[in-house]
A and B are shown apart, each in its own frame.
Chain A
Amino acid sequence: ETGVTQTPRHLVMGMTNKKSLKCEQHLGHNAMYWYKQSAKKPLELMFVYNFKEQTENNSVPSRFSPECPNSSHLFLHLHTLQPEDSALYLCASSQVWGPDEKLFFGSGTQLSVL
Chain B
Amino acid sequence: TQLLEQSPQFLSIQEGENLTVYCNSSSVFSSLQWYRQEPGEGPVLLVTVVTGGEVKKLKRLTFQFGDARKDSSLHITAAQPGDTGLYLCAGHGSSNTGKLIFGQGTTLQVKP
Contact = CB atoms under 8 A, between A and B. Distances in A.
Contacts of B105: 42
Contacts of B98: 31, 48, 50, 55, 94, 96-99, 101
A80 interface: no
B97 A92 contact: no
Interface stretch (B39-47, B54-62, B66-74, B77-85): B39-47
Nearest to B9: A40
Instruction: Give the interface size bracket for A toward B.
Output: 20 to 34
Contacts of B4: 42
Interface in A60-114: 90, 92, 94, 96-108
B24 interface: no
A92 B98 CA distance: 13
Interface string B17-43: 000000000000011010100001111
A100 B42 contact: no
A27 interface: no
Nearest to B10: A40
A42 B104 contact: yes
B48 A42 contact: no
Interface string A35-54: 00000111101001010000
Contacts of A31: 98
Interface string B91-112: 0100011111111110000000
Given A31-B98, A43-B88, A107-B42, A102 B30 contact: no
Interface of B: 4, 9, 30-31, 33, 35, 40-45, 48, 50, 88, 90, 92, 96-105
Interface of A: 4, 31, 40-43, 45, 48, 50, 55-56, 90, 92, 94, 96-108
16 contacts: A42-B103, A43-B102, A48-B98, A55-B98, A96-B98, A97-B97, A100-B31, A100-B48, A101-B98, A102-B33, A103-B35, A105-B35, A105-B43, A107-B40, A107-B42, A108-B41
